[in-house]
Amino acid sequence: MGFYADQVFPRLMDWIMRAPRFQELRRQVLAPARGHVLEIGFGTGLNLPHYPKSVTWLTAVDPANFPNALVEKQTMAGSIPVKLVRLSAETLPFESGQFDWAVSTWTLCTISDPVAALREVRRVLKPGGQFIFLEHGRSDDPKILKWQNRLNPLQRVVACGCNLNRSIDALIRQAGLTIIQLERFQMDGVPRVAGSMYRGIATPHRPIITETLSSGRYRPIAPGAPGSGTV
């Protein structure tokens, strides 16, 4: 990949993203995780100290070959057993329906095909599983969005493939996941172009929306197709 991508960027990213304001967000968003967790885009492992004790096993994927010293420092520090696999999240070598929770923090901005990766997350989650996301992306403010679009080509080079202007919630829905919690906020101490945050939880199953008929029976209506369904 080159000296900058392999040696300089990982250290820079690790230094910026271990600041207390990032750590606090990690702690909050990871609190509900339980059981066997899949993390996509492990980076240098900055989420590890923030997983609760209810997490029994962590499987993590990331294609980057970050310096061992940076990653090991984190994996050795945690108490959860970690299996780190060096591959892209777009094609996961895991059986369907095996993870209790999945996690992505500041990663959907960088994955080349985020919808493919999210489809894989949906596939490998158990039916009752949940997907935690904490991501920066497209701003709702047209003035900020204009700057995000302008700066995106530069950001992709400087931050090794990171995009400023992805609609994170739209990508999650496009992959067939159902968002059950979504919070939008501006991150403190981060330039507005990179601090428009999406935090929430999505599930692999679709809710069944019903309407009650005059007969007292229920009619399921497929999401997105009002009026369809069978009695």
Among 105, 130, 148, 203, binds ligand SAM (CB under 6 A): 105
x/- binding map, residues 133-162, to ligand SAM, per CB under 6 A?
------------------------------
Q: Are 111 and 87 in contact (CB under 8 A)?
A: no
> Binding to ligand SAM by residue 51, rule CB under 6 A?
no
Phi/psi at 227 (5° precision): 90, -15
> Binding to ligand SAM by residue 203, rule CB under 6 A?
no
Q: Are 67 and 7 in contact (CB under 8 A)?
A: yes
Beta carbon nearer to ligand SAM, 85 or 222: 85
Find the length of the chain.
231
Among 12, 27, 34, 63, binds ligand SAM (CB under 6 A): 63
Q: List the beta strands (DSSP E) in the chain.
A: 35-40, 55-61, 82-85, 99-105, 125-136, 178-186, 196-203, 209-212, 218-221
Q: Are 197 and 135 in contact (CB under 8 A)?
A: yes
> Binding to ligand SAM by residue 89, rule CB under 6 A?
yes
Beta carbon nearer to ligand SAM, 89 or 102: 89
Q: Which of left, alpha, beta for 2 (phi over 0: left; psi -120 to 50: alpha)?
A: left
x/- binding map, residues 8-47, to ligand SAM, per CB under 6 A?
-----x---x----------------------xx-x--xx
Q: Distance between CA atoms of 192 and 113, rounded to whole angstroms?
A: 25
> Binding to ligand SAM by residue 101, rule CB under 6 A?
no
Kindly give the pairing relationship between strand 178-186 and strand 99-105: unpaired
Count of residues that bind ligand SAM according to CB under 6 A? 21
Among 9, 101, 106, 131, binds ligand SAM (CB under 6 A): 106
Segment interacting with ligand SAM (CB under 6 A) among 88-96, 147-155, 187-195, 215-223: 88-96
Helices (H) and strands (E) in the chain, counts: 7, 9
Beta carbon nearer to ligand SAM, 46 or 144: 46
Among 59, 74, 75, 110, binds ligand SAM (CB under 6 A): 110
x/- binding map, residues 208-227, to ligand SAM, per CB under 6 A?
--------------------
What are the CA-CA distances from residue 196 to residues 25, 106, 168, 212 (Å)? Answer: 13, 11, 10, 40
Q: Which residues bind ligand SAM (CB under 6 A)?
A: 13, 17, 40-41, 43, 46-47, 61-64, 88-90, 105-107, 110-112, 117
